[in-house]
A and B are shown apart, each in its own frame.
Chain A
């Protein structure tokens, strides 16, 4: 069953469809959120909120053949809310700086090369590059799917991807 059909079923309260949809999309959704937040703890939190929101508002999904794009919109909004929340806390004097502000990304990964590459990607790439790179490399989405889900022209996705990978190579070589 396609994600589209699954999502429609989720809208009718089908929890099995929801589980299936979760398994089909968790990498992509997590990659997307991580690429925005750059922090695994926050990403996990937002991922949970995202899927909860997907569950509760699936009925408002209008079939457009782009279920992932819809899920990304939810995730993006929640990510931005997270930023606002953090900003608010920082304004209140807690000075709880996140990765975005300190530029440091902390990843609980044992494999050093994995950690190094992901950390570099999160630190040196711009947000759209991070999204494209993580969605393709980590979540296995095709460039075309990314283009559709992020509403970008395919060529933009391709050239951003190439540029980002080139940047990464260069950076890793020099570090």
Chain B
């Protein structure tokens, strides 16, 4: 469904107005936004904060989905490769971190993290090298197979903990410097609650908020990196490959190499997300890496608006946060979620926040159409 002109005008002018602000003001706005994001679990605003569950934990899940969505967006949105087994990279990252920090090696997490990312990147290259020559939809099923193979190998290998999984994964190092009080909204007005505090910054068992901060920081770093890559030669090469592979090849873009690079970059971010997830969770088993998660990740990218980094973040929030917020539906959660996916797909086929290029292309198409119709109208009136 298209937006009504009034709404379009409002959002359009808002975007333009922000874009036309002087640079220091824009930076100020972004910083304010980031500070708000960091403070969110401390504010515990009513209605937004899900009842009955730990808000910090939910927000951490949201950041992991954001991270994964950003990674998958590079593969699906920028390079146009359909990946149905993204959870495989996530699993490789998580398992590498788990193995290296537990009984097999006992490394500290900060040492294991780069190894986990390296392992998943290598797995991305190894998977991509033979399979990226395969065309479009076949790639989807090959990647789906890869994701399932990774999970089944984990289920069947004693060394990887089989179906029990791996316990006692190292947590990030931290030191409690000071305590930050939460807000309490019970009386209707926000009050500082000094009984309910978060230690800055200690990665404990109960309080999930420090993990959220860690996740958010990584998301912001990845966002910067994403912006740099997208606007570089690499990003343009990806777009050219996505739009028309043969034309890109003729223009001198080594498409295979760039597709491989997209795959590896996606795997890098997926592995990073997996490792962070493993360290928060402190235990993992193959049930955390079902095919369903690949599908949820893809849903986040597509309903948010593939190719637009802010769009996929919105998609990730929708996919990760809404089911947690509406926990009171319990048994009907999946049903409602499925219906929501369908409704979004049918009524917003470009995603919630389509990339600016798509919007522009649509607009110019509509203009051309209007011109053509107008010309016809003139002719008929002349007759």
Q: Does A pair with B? A: no
